[in-house]
Every structure is written in structure tokens, then in C-alpha cells.
């Protein structure tokens, strides 16, 4: 005999549990990214780095990178980087080189993870 379809109440309960789990995961990811950004902005070298997945779940996929050679900053959308989601954000630095610096450019420095690229943050500050 076939099972009956779940009632509306059952479907709502399943939805609410799933939504609560997603919100808890996002809140935890935001907390991790905030701790990492605070350590980087305080000038403390990071002893750890969040994962790419953590940054994406937190809604902060823009990696700010500073080049000490030419003193420029760039933003990289880590959603477009071909790396495993469980790789640390800090491991991306090894593959980055400044395109403006000739020859042997110094190693870039991660300055933080952000929710939007610099141009979007700049225009939000105007209005």
C-alpha cells in the first residue's frame, strides 16, 4: 500500500529545519571570516586561514590582495578560482603574482575577504 503524501505541516517542519541549519552554517562562516579579517587588519600574521567554501557560504567571496612591489590592491572572486572548496584561502597566494610587477615580483599579501568588490564598496559609500 503506497504511503500518503506528507501533510503541509510536515513539509513546513522539514523546510524550517533545513532553513535553520543553513542559517546556522552561514552565521558560523561569517564568524570565522570576521575573525580572520580582524587578525589580518590588526597586522597579525594569520596562523590559520578559512576555507574557500567558508568564504562562499559566508557571502564574502572577494579576496583583497595587496602587492608590496607596486603597492597596488586587487580583488579576486574566489568563486572563479579552480581549487577544491576545502582548500584554504591562504593557499591561493602561492599561485598569485602581480601582473604589473616586472620580473621577480614579491609575494602578494592577503588583506581580507569581502562581500563585494572594491568598486561596489566605493559606490555604496557615495550614495
State how far the Cα of 39 lies from the Cα of 51, in Å rounded to an integer: 16
Range of the domain at 21: 8-126
Instruction: With respect to residue 45, please indicate whether it lies within any of the assigned structural domains.
Output: yes
More confident residue, 36 or 118: 36
Mean pLDDT, rounded, of the chain = 85
pTM for this predicted structure: 0.78
Instruction: With respect to residue 85, please indicate whether it lies within any of the assigned structural domains.
Output: yes
Cell (9 digits) for 21: 541549519
pLDDT at 44: 78
Q: Structurally, how many domains does the chain consist of?
A: 1
The 10s digit of each residue's pLDDT in 6-65 is 788 888 888 888 888 889 999 999 999 999 999 998 887 678 899 999 999 999 999 999
More confident residue, 1 or 116: 116
Instruction: With respect to residue 2, please indicate whether it lies within any of the assigned structural domains.
Output: no
CA 31-58-36 angle, to 5 degrees, is 45
Amino acid at each position: 500500500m503506497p504511503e500518503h503524501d506528507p501533510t503541509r505541516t510536515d513539509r513546513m517542519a522539514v523546510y524550517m529545519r533545513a532553513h535553520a541549519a543553513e542559517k546556522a552554517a552561514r552565521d558560523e562562516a561569517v564568524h570565522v571570516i570576521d575573525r580572520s579579517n580582524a587578525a589580518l587588519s590588526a597586522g597579525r600574521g594569520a596562523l590559520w586561514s578559512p576555507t574557500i567554501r567558508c568564504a562562499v557560504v559566508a557571502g564574502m567571496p572577494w579576496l583583497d590582495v595587496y602587492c608590496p612591489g607596486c603597492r597596488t590592491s586587487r580583488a579576486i572572486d574566489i568563486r572563479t578560482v579552480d581549487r577544491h572548496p576545502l582548500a584554504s584561502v591562504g593557499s591561493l597566494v602561492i599561485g598569485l603574482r602581480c601582473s604589473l610587477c616586472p620580473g621577480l615580483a614579491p609575494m602578494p599579501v592577503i588583506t581580507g575577504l569581502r562581500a563585494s568588490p572594491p568598486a561596489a564598496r566605493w559606490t555604496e559609500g557615495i550614495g
